[in-house]
């Protein structure tokens, strides 16, 4: 059984304009020591899906199942959820400055978090652990840096502090929502290395949410591509990049400027759908070059044979994926 399993998750929000159906039937899972990449553009529902699992979407209408180590997450009462968050699921977000309290020293914030979850830990023991954690994420002279305020750290260092805090209780799952989007590429490389090292050491499962296909190609074992609140394609990393099946995955990859090829890019025409009145069938149908009449009914999620576990929500014949493989090699 997978460590974290999400099945048929639906999330919607009431807004003055109508009900926003942000997530519509999403399923994924992740195992210990593995990294699941969730990619999608703004409004694809990738962040809402993961925030719902950890109980951060208050006021949302939620249905479906999500279990961690067999324990149900969606129906859990606030106390249970608080115990799970931090201790079993660590989280890091895009903007480390707004995730850290500006008035308190970073060491205090880590110590507080350890002691909130482990009542018996003494202050000095927690502080020692905080120093070790800062050291583990590569912050130089952690013994003095522990008494600095968040603003005294650079963006990359702050994200390291966030990782240290998320990993403080050795959680089974680390949810990283666009962890490097605000960082420069050289700093991004440093931060991704830290995450990789920690995963190797502690066997943490990582859910990496990003819009950057390059980060996914570098980090993920398995990839889920989301669009319009649904999963379009799910595959092992190499399968996704070299023998993708779904036209949206293909469109995303074609939109990227590739090294050494100038000239015109091939963008996806049109804009993403409204999540208040999403298209009745495949959400990508209005922008898809292969759209057919039957795309207006919900497409089945088909198994793509040959390679790892691979599914795609599209009516196109499965042989399509084989063709892209031939082109790639």
Partner 1 sequence: MTTTEHNAVAPLLEVTDVRKHFPIGRRPLFGGPQPVLKAVDGVSLQVRPGETLGLVGETGCGKSTLARCMVRLYDLTSGTVNFNGSDISTLSRGELRPLRREMQVMFQDPYGSLNPRRRVGSIIGDPFAIHGVAEGDERKRKVQDLMELVGLNPEHYNRFPAEFSGGQRQRIGIARALALNPKLVVCDEPVSALDVSIQAQVINLLAELQERLDLTYVFISHDLSVVRHVSDRIAVMYLGKIVEIAGVDDLHDHTRHPYTQALLSAVPSADPDAVAARERIVLTGDLPSPANPPTGCRFHPRCPKAQQICVTDDPELVSRLGDDAVHQVACHFPLADGELLTASRPAIADIDPDLSFDASAAEKGTSA
- Positions touching partner 1 (CB under 8 A) are 41-42, 154-157, 184-190, 193, 211-218, 237-238, 241-242, 251-262, 264-269, 271-272
* CA 297 to chain CA mean position, Å: 28
Do 146 and 114 contact (CB within 8 A), yes or no? no
Question: Smallest gap, in angstroms, from Cβ of residue 138 to partner 1?
Answer: 9
| Residue whose pair of structure tokens reads 């591509």 in the numeric block | 225
- The beta-carbon contacts of 118-127 under 8 Å, at least 24 apart in sequence, are 118/169
Quote the CA–CA distance of 9 and 231 in Å, as a whole number: 11
Question: Smallest gap, in angstroms, from Cβ of residue 50 to partner 1?
Answer: 19
Considering the complex, state which of residue 111 and residue 216 has its C-beta at the smaller distance from partner 1: 216
Question: Smallest gap, in angstroms, from Cβ of residue 105 to partner 1?
Answer: 20
Considering the complex, state which of residue 51 and residue 188 has its C-beta at the smaller distance from partner 1: 188
Considering the complex, state which of residue 80 and residue 181 has its C-beta at the smaller distance from partner 1: 181
Question: Smallest gap, in angstroms, from Cβ of residue 321 to partner 1?
Answer: 16
Question: Smallest gap, in angstroms, from Cβ of residue 38 to partner 1?
Answer: 15
Quote the CA–CA distance of 139 and 155 in Å, as a whole number: 12
Torsion sign, CA atoms 295, 301, 304, 307? positive
Question: Smallest gap, in angstroms, from Cβ of residue 29 to partner 1?
Answer: 21
Please name the residue ranges forming H helices in 167-282: 185-202, 213-219, 237-242, 247-255
Considering the complex, state which of residue 78 and residue 260 has its C-beta at the smaller distance from partner 1: 260
- Helical pair 155-166 and 185-202, crossing angle rounded to 10 deg: 20
Considering the complex, state which of residue 193 and residue 201 has its C-beta at the smaller distance from partner 1: 193
Do 299 and 315 contact (CB within 8 A), yes or no? yes
Considering the complex, state which of residue 69 and residue 135 has its C-beta at the smaller distance from partner 1: 135
For residue 207, CA distances in Å to 221, 251, 311 come to 10, 23, 19
Could you count the other beta carbons within 10 Å of the beta carbon of residue 97?
A: 14
């Amino acid at each position: 059984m997978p460590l974290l399993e999400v099945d048929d998750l639906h999330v919607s929000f009431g807004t003055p304009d109508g009900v926003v159906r942000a997530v519509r039937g999403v399923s994924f899972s992740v195992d210990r020591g593995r990294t699941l990449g969730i990619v999608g553009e703004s409004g694809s529902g990738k962040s809402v899906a993961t925030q719902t699992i950890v109980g951060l979407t208050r006021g949302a209408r939620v249905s479906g199942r999500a279990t961690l180590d067999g324990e149900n997450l969606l129906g859990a009462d606030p106390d249970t959820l608080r115990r799970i968050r931090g201790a079993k699921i660590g989280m890091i977000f895009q903007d480390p400055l707004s995730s850290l309290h500006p008035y308190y020293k970073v060491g205090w914030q880590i110590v507080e978090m350890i002691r909130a979850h482990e009542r018996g830990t003494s202050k000095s023991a927690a502080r020692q652990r905080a120093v070790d954690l800062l050291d583990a994420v590569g912050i130089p002279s952690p013994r003095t840096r522990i008494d600095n305020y968040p603003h005294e750290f650079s963006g990359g260092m702050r994200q390291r502090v966030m990782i240290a805090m998320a990993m403080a209780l050795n959680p089974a799952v680390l949810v990283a929502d666009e962890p490097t989007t605000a960082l420069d590429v050289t700093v991004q490389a440093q931060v991704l290395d830290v995450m990789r090292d920690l995963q190797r050491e502690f066997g943490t499962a990582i859910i990496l949410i990003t819009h950057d296909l390059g980060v996914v190609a570098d980090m993920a074992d398995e990839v889920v591509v989301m669009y319009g609140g649904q999963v379009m394609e799910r595959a092992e990393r190499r399968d996704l990049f070299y023998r993708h099946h779904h036209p949206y995955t293909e469109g995303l990859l074609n939109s990227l400027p590739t090294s050494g090829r100038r000239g015109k890019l091939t963008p996806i025409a049109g804009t993403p759908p409204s999540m208040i009145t999403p298209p009745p069938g495949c959400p990508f149908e209005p922008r898809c070059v292969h759209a057919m009449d039957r795309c207006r009914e919900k497409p089945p999620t088909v198994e793509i044979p040959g390679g790892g576990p691979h599914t795609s929500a599209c009516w196109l014949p499965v042989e399509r994926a084989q063709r892209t493989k031939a082109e790639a090699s």
